[in-house]
Structure 1
Amino acid sequence: MPTPNPPASPRYIWQHRAWPQLSFDAAALAPALDQARLEQGRLLGLLGAIGLEQANAVQRDLWVQEALATAAIEGEQLNLESLRSSVAHRLALADAPGADRSVDGLVQVMQDALANHSAALDLDRLCRWQSALFPGGTSGITRIAVGRLRDHADAMQIVSGALGREVVHYEAPPSDQVASELDRLLTWFASTRPSDTAPTSTAVNGIARAALAHLWFESIHPFEDGNGRLGRALADMALAQDMQAHDAQASPVLVRVYGLAHQMLKTRAAYYDALNHAQRLRGVTPEASTIDATPWVQWFVQAFTRACVTSQAVVRDATDKAQFRLRAAQCHINARQSKVLERLLDAGRVGSGGGFLGGMTNEKYAKITATSKATATRDLSDLLAHGLLRVEGVGKATRYAVNVPGWEQPALKA
């Protein structure tokens, strides 16, 4: 009789006997977690010092930024105007969302995960989230299972590379195991929810808990598509629960401000590498009683810290813009001038990666405001006289920038 093939050696963490007992070295991570709390506190302190109108502006900007980023990580480009419209609608700043249902669906998922972070997370809610991402039942032009767990017999693999030369980065549990795997995750998520009454010695650090939840969800990969966006929404929900446990009076505005997806997009290759490394059985002995996720948690905590620092800059910019708008209003400028100043403010400061491309010119002003070059010259001269613009260059090389203290002057080109 032929000898049966021996079982393949386990390669992924869900194949280990200790799965899903994920652990991390709290002592080793203590400095990183302390730094994360410090930057989180600084961010929340900045937000607490600004008015409601500015806080809403920050929330809107960061929400748009996060939605663009979480989609872009998966290679999807969202329509910016539809996204802004949908976010404004969810913030009660507009009567109706944009016309793009998939964009509005993503915004709804983000809103539900954060604004309703105290509500129980169950299978039905996750299925409704996934369904909202694909309102037409397709991913691109491919029909996919929507609103239910994946049930196909083929292996769920994360693959890259050209056809015929694919590289398998990860293979998730078979579809017939997904329901039970997800049930264990949801039970853990509910039982480890942070509380202001939980003993410090027994509570899981809220930021580390968000890291573990994200790793666990992505390792199960329960849906046919949308797992990345849903896993990041789950992490955001965990962070919102953590913040609420630290401050029961925290405003709903504050739970949207961390910008984690944007940070992950900026370091997308490192994000995927860290996740892939954590999902493989590298260095985990067969006898281990837990699976050490310390490197992944370390990466996630550091990403969260950098996201808080970036969001601090967004809050400071919002404060700068609000003070500038007050100055402009006191100068009684006309509608054309207001429109151009808003365009320059929206472009942001050059030092933070923004800035109006090439600087503002007389010709650009005339085009934006649909006016003559002579009128553009008078308007720009008036804004200079009021100190609302600053200028560099002469003649055809003349360029204008918004005069916000601390904002860099763009590198001007003819």
Structure 2
Amino acid sequence: MQRVATGHYEITTTAGESVRSFVPDPLPPHPSLDLGGQGQALKDRALLACGRLDGVSALLPDPELFLYAYVRREALLSSQIEGTQSSLSDLLLFELEEAPGVPFDDVVEVSSYVAALEHGLARMASGFPLSSRLLREIHEVLLARGRGADRMPGQFRRSQNWIGGTRPGNARFVPPPPGLVEGCMAELERFIHADDDLPVLVKAALAHVQFETIHPFLDGNGRLGRLLIVLMLVDGGILRQPLLYLSLFFKQHRSRYYELLDEVRQQGDWEAWIAFFLEGVESTAAAAVDSAHRLLELFRSDEMKLTGLGRSGTSLRQVYASLRQRPLVGIPQLAARAQVSFPTAAKAMERLVALGIAREVTGGRRNRVFAYDAYIAILGEGAEPL
């Protein structure tokens, strides 16, 4: 099938120089997609992997427990692609108010991503549609604090941006002129909600490229474009819980990712991009299922260490259950969550340390913080700073 560029160029003047900015055609692609037998097989495997992930989350003692840590892992990975240098432990420490010494700007950026995702999911759960308005709301939360707070949070850009290079004239890619952004986003919203026969996974793949091409905000486009994927999968009923994130796959295949975006724009090769996207969905979902099973095995193994401890066993199990909910925590928070006294929580935590389940990480005598190292290690795989 003969493919051509998926948009046209507008010639504008920015900062006194002529600029060619790319304006994408509305979705869906024309001519229609031709996924072929291999593409259909990829789609089926990706969908099956998503189903397994949705099912395994129900096996966890508390699905919210896995969701809490997994969302934070995604926030970390997505922000790392943009250049932050935080770790999962940094973020969990930051969320403990008394924990000192965490790199502020980087971790605020990651924390804001968590808040943005949670805001979007809560709004959708209340019946608010996935729309340009909701994306602007999420963007406002995403850039509310730290770097980017002065980059028009919650508003479409009113000036020209670009990707790569020092100015639009020597950039690798220049998105649409600001006057066309709102119209392009309205078209994207119409596509997302169109009653067509495109599978949800394919629509999410197409919408992600379109959003990245429009680049509607001055900052935060990459993070919000990756968030759009999971929001569409939840909205489309592929996942009940937001547990599928492609940031690690994109991080591991950054060069190919950018090459494929360019090939879509210049040559209309949507099929190659969709194949890459579906491979990412399948491998990412399979990895998340593996993480969930390993967590279950970890919990079973550590719970076995808590048997036969007499009367102290009850409070110890309560404290251990709270540590599973927050794998990096101080004694006051632990006591409140386990609904036991401070001395009881402290004594139980000392026992968990002796059993090799927990570790004290501050080295101090006051405001001590304890980590469930094995849990954090499983969730932190691949989330090391670039």
- Deviation, 1:20, is 1.7
* Counterpart residue number, 2:350: 336
**Partners of 1:275 and 1:211 in 2: how far apart?**
11
Structure 1 residue ranges, 4+ long, deviating more than 6 angstroms after superposition? 85-89
- Deviation, 1:83, is 3.4
Q: What do residues 59-108 of structure 1 show as CA deviations (whole Å, max 9, x unaligned)?
A: 1221111000111111123464563378899xxxxxxxx99654443212
* Counterpart residue number, 1:273: 259
- Deviation, 1:310, is 0.7
Is 1:310 matched with 2:271?
A: no
Q: What do residues 218-267 of structure 1 show as CA deviations (whole Å, max 9, x unaligned)?
A: 1111111111111111111111122x2x6xxx7xxx42211322222222
**Partners of 1:272 and 1:215 in 2: how far apart?**
10
**Partners of 2:279 and 2:95 in 1: how far apart?**
28
| Letter of the 2:352 counterpart | S
**Partners of 2:96 and 2:55 in 1: how far apart?**
25
2:26 to 10, 20, 26: 20
- Deviation, 1:273, is 2.3
Query: What SS does structure 2 have at the residue aligned with 1:304?
Result: helix
2:177 to 163, 174, 178: 174
Give the direction of change, closer, same or farther, for the CA distance of 1:270–1:18 in structure 2 (3 Å limit): closer
Aligned partners of 2:120 and 2:134 also within 8 Å: no
Give the direction of change, closer, same or farther, for the CA distance of 1:13–1:337 in structure 2 (3 Å limit): farther
* Counterpart residue number, 2:142: 133
Query: What SS does structure 2 have at the residue aligned with 1:158?
Result: coil
- Deviation, 1:278, is 1.8
Aligned partners of 1:66 and 1:261 also within 8 Å: yes
- Deviation, 1:112, is 2.9
Aligned partners of 1:131 and 1:146 also within 8 Å: yes
* Counterpart residue number, 2:155: 148
* TM-score, length-scaled by structure 1: 0.64
Q: Report 1:10-49 matches (<5 A).
A: 13-15=7-9, 19-23=25-29, 24-28=33-37, 29-49=39-59
Q: What do residues 280-325 of structure 1 show as CA deviations (whole Å, max 9, x unaligned)?
A: x22xxxxxxxx55111111111111110011011111110121012
Give the direction of change, closer, same or farther, for the CA distance of 1:103–1:349 in structure 2 (3 Å limit): closer
Give ranges in structure 1 of 5+ residues lacking alignment. Answer: 1-9, 90-97, 193-201, 283-290, 355-414
- Deviation, 1:328, is 1.4
Aligned partners of 1:86 and 1:107 also within 8 Å: no
Q: Which has the larger radius of gyration?
A: 1
* Counterpart residue number, 1:293: 270
Q: Report 1:210-229 matches (<5 A).
A: 210-229=204-223
Q: What do residues 37-75 of structure 1 show as CA deviations (whole Å, max 9, x unaligned)?
A: 121222222223333x2x222212211110001111111
Query: What SS does structure 2 have at the residue aligned with 1:256?
Result: coil
RCO higher in structure (CA 8 A, sep ≥6): 2
Aligned partners of 2:108 and 2:146 also within 8 Å: no
Give the direction of change, closer, same or farther, for the CA distance of 1:330–1:184 in structure 2 (3 Å limit): same
Q: Report 1:4-403 matches (<5 A).
A: 13-15=7-9, 19-23=25-29, 24-28=33-37, 29-51=39-61, 53=62, 55-78=63-86, 80=88, 83-84=91-92, 102-117=109-124, 118-136=127-145, 138-139=147-148, 143-152=150-159, 154=160, 156-160=161-165, 168-192=171-195, 202-242=196-236, 244=237, 254-279=240-265, 281-282=266-267, 291-332=268-309, 335-339=349-353, 340-342=356-358, 343-346=372-375, 348=377
* Counterpart residue number, 2:344: none
**Partners of 2:190 and 2:94 in 1: how far apart?**
33
- Deviation, 1:183, is 1.0
**Partners of 1:87 and 1:203 in 2: how far apart?**
43
Give the direction of change, closer, same or farther, for the CA distance of 1:133–1:78 in structure 2 (3 Å limit): farther
The number of equivalent residue pairs is 303
- Deviation, 1:344, is 4.3
| Letter of the 1:58 counterpart | F
Aligned partners of 2:157 and 2:217 also within 8 Å: yes
**Partners of 1:76 and 1:175 in 2: how far apart?**
27
* TM-score, length-scaled by structure 2: 0.68
Aligned partners of 2:56 and 2:289 also within 8 Å: yes
Q: What do residues 352-403 of structure 1 show as CA deviations (whole Å, max 9, x unaligned)?
A: 679xxxxxxxxxxxxxxxxxxxxxxxxxxxxxxxxxxxxxxxxxxxxxxxxx
**Partners of 1:88 and 1:260 in 2: how far apart?**
27
| Letter of the 2:141 counterpart | A
| Letter of the 1:147 counterpart | G
**Partners of 1:174 and 1:229 in 2: how far apart?**
21
* Counterpart residue number, 1:93: none
* Counterpart residue number, 1:401: none
* Counterpart residue number, 1:368: none
Give ranges in structure 2 of 5+ residues lacking alignment. Answer: 10-21, 98-103, 310-315, 317-347, 359-371
Aligned partners of 1:33 and 1:301 also within 8 Å: yes
